[in-house]
């Protein structure tokens, strides 16, 4: 019998028991669908993490002050001011791998404008900050070094602040807002950044010169820098060198002996992003492995049904052998039936998996990445499941004695 004829016979045998065939492939459908959905969502989540960190800026390091320790109770990072404005200047002038550096002083305050008010984060920075973070404006302009030197009362509003105070389509450039009852002229609206990798709304911020924040809101310019230092490395490959240079420079300036812990921290966001992406990838593999177990369970179901089919069709097998069918013909027919069951289940599983992934992505606002190679691998694996679990029943059928098979009732 030709291969095409074998397939036709196998299809007729499967269609004689439509409900049983459907229930048989249900495990394969669920297994393949789960594999595709989990991998698609996992890859989308990994891309989302990478995108979130790219929004925060590339080639970036963040230097923070150390922590306090009183009576065995330790405060969080930044609770003990150890960084100074002299440290900032030294980083700018005494390192080779650092191209830009900006202070970032933070305070929470109520912002008022046109009868509306909004509690938000006020961030005092220098002009370099916007280059480090790859952050521009959609209208207006960024403030310059002269605004920093003169402690100018100018502000750049994030999109969330604009919407809360002025409305969705408003352009507040040129208008006045009051921060802690101090009037500021709005000179720009920052580009929309969305959420950070930690769920923070990056657009819910007002940017002002750091000298203005220190003198008008935090309360007086002092030696210590009450915030963080954002650093832009010369290149992506140079971030580790910049991290090492800054660490060595600050240890020297703070007179820390060998063996003494740093009284500051230097965070490499590229390493953080990589660690989070690896964590997401590990979870994706775990879920995909669980889904593959479901696919194997579906294969066991196929083997059970094929064994039942062999028992039910014993007289048919004996009759085929009696009229000239060889054992390899019978073997081929039952293997083809098992593979068809698996492939049909795999095809339905692909549709189910893509649909489930799209639904979950819409519900949770995740990215969706359905990779063609994963679909091909899932279909190929389902075919192998059919061969693997269909081979034993097929061999059992091909080894039947024709005389004994014809006598079977």
> 289-315, pLDDT tens digit by residue?
766 777 777 777 778 777 777 777 777
Three-state DSSP state, 184? strand
Q: How far is CA 308 from CA 21, 304, 341, in A?
A: 12, 6, 15
pLDDT at 389 over 80: no
Q: Is residue 332 pLDDT above 70, yes or no?
A: yes
Q: How sure is the predictor about 175, in pLDDT bands with cuts at 50, 70 and 90? A: very high
Token pair for 164: 């809360």
Q: Where residue 76 falls among pLDDT bands split at 50, 70, 90?
A: very low
Model confidence, pTM:
0.59
Is the separation of the CB atoms in 264 and 83 below 8 Å?
A: yes
Confidence band for 75, pLDDT divided at 50, 70 and 90: very low
State residue 128's pLDDT score: 94
**Mean pLDDT within 354-362:** 82
User: What SS3 class is residue 118?
Assistant: strand
- Across 53-62, 76-85, 343-352, the highest mean pLDDT is recorded for 343-352
Q: Across the chain, which distance is largest between two alpha carbons, in Å?
A: 105
User: Which has the minimum average pLDDT: 10-24, 60-74, 132-146?
Assistant: 60-74
- pLDDT of 203 > 70? The answer is yes
- Give me the phi and psi of 73, to 5 degrees please: -95, 120
If one compares 43 and 252, the residue with the highest pLDDT of the two is 252
Within 10 angstroms of residue 242's Cβ, the number of other Cβ atoms is 26
Nearest to 358 by CA among 48, 51, 37, 30: 37
Instruction: Give yes or no for residue 169 having a pLDDT over 80.
Output: yes
Q: Of residues 7 and 58, which shows the higher confidence score? A: 7
Q: What are phi and psi of 311, to 5 degrees?
A: -65, -45
User: Can you tell me the distance from the alpha carbon of 155 to that of 206, in angstroms, rounded to the nearest whole number?
Assistant: 7
- Which range of 59-68, 72-81, 93-102, 320-329 scores highest in mean pLDDT? It is 93-102
Mean pLDDT of 219-238: 79
Residue 140 has pLDDT above 90, yes or no: yes
Q: What is the mean pLDDT of the chain?
A: 80
Report d(CA 129, CA 57) in Å as an integer.
10
Residue 239 pLDDT level (bands cut at 50, 70, 90) = confident
Q: How far apart are CA 385 and CA 390, in angstroms?
A: 8
Lowest mean pLDDT among 114-118, 127-131, 209-213, 404-408: 404-408
Two tokens, residue 25 = 């492939």
pLDDT band at 284 (very low <50, low <70, confident <90, very high): low
Q: Which of 401, 402, 400, 392 is nearest to 335 (CA)?
A: 392
| Least confident stretch, 45-59, 211-225, 264-278 | 45-59
Per-residue model confidence as pLDDT tens digits over 18-68: 777 777 778 788 878 877 887 777 777 767 666 665 555 557 889 998 754
Write down the pLDDT at residue 143: 96
Confidence of residue 73 (pLDDT cuts 50, 70, 90): very low
Stated as kind and residue range, the H or E segment containing 351 is helix 327-364
* Higher pLDDT, residue 174 or 310: 174
85-94 vs 239-253: helix crossing angle, rounded to 10 = 130
Of 215, 33, 254, 231, nearest to 124 (Cα)? 215
Q: How confident is the model at residue 408 (pLDDT cuts 50, 70, 90)?
A: low
For the cut 60, the answer to whether the pLDDT of residue 369 exceeds it is yes
Asked if 76 contacts 243 with a C-beta cutoff of 8 angstroms, the reply is no
Contacting residues for 299 by C-beta, under 8 A, at least 6 apart: 27, 28, 342, 385, 386, 388, 389
Kind and range of the H or E run holding 202: none
pLDDT at 271 over 60: no
221 has pLDDT over 60: no
Give the model confidence (pLDDT) of 113-134 as tens digits: 988 999 999 999 999 999 988 8
């Amino acid at each position: 019998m030709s291969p095409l004829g074998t397939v036709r016979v196998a299809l007729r045998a499967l269609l004689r028991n439509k409900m049983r065939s459907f229930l048989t492939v249900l495990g394969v459908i669920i297994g393949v669908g789960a594999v595709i959905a989990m991998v698609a969502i996992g890859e989308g989540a990994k891309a989302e993490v990478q995108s979130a960190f790219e929004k925060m800026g590339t080639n970036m390091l963040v230097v923070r002050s150390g922590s306090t320790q009183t009576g065995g109770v330790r405060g969080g990072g930044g609770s003990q001011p150890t960084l100074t404005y002299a440290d900032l200047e030294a980083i700018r002038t005494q390192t080779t791998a650092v191209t830009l550096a900006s202070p970032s002083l933070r305070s929470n305050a109520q912002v008022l404008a046109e009868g509306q008010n909004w509690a938000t984060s006020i961030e005092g920075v220098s002009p370099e900050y916007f280059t480090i973070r790859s952050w521009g404006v959609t209208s207006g302009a960024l403030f310059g070094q002269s605004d920093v030197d003169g402690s100018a009362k100018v502000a750049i509003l994030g999109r969330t602040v604009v919407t809360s105070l002025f409305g969705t389509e408003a352009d507040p450039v040129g208008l006045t807002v009051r921060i802690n009852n101090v009037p500021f002229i709005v000179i720009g609206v920052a580009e929309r950044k969305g959420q950070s990798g930690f769920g923070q709304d990056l657009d819910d911020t007002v940017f002002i010169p750091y000298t203005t924040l220190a003198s008008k809101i935090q309360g007086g310019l002092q030696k210590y820098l009450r915030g963080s230092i954002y650093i832009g490395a010369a290149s992506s490959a140079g971030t580790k060198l910049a991290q090492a240079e800054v660490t060595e420079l600050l240890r020297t300036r703070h007179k820390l002996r060998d063996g003494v812990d740093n009284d500051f921290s230097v965070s490499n966001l590229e390493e953080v992003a990589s660690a989070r992406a690896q964590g997401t990838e590990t979870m994706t593999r775990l879920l995909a492995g669980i889904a593959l177990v479901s696919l194997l369970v579906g294969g066991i179901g196929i083997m059970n049904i094929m064994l039942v089919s062999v028992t039910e069709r014993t007289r048919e097998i004996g009759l085929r052998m009696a009229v000239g069918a060889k054992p390899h013909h019978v073997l081929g027919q039952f293997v083809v039936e098992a593979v068809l069951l698996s492939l049909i289940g795999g095809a339905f599983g692909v549709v189910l998996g893509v649909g489930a992934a799209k639904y979950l992505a819409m519900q949770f606002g995740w990215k969706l990445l359905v990779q063609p190679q994963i679909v091909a691998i899932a279909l190929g694996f389902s075919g192998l499941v059919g061969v693997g679990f269909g081979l034993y029943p097929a061999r059992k059928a091909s080894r039947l004695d024709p005389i004994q098979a014809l006598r079977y009732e």
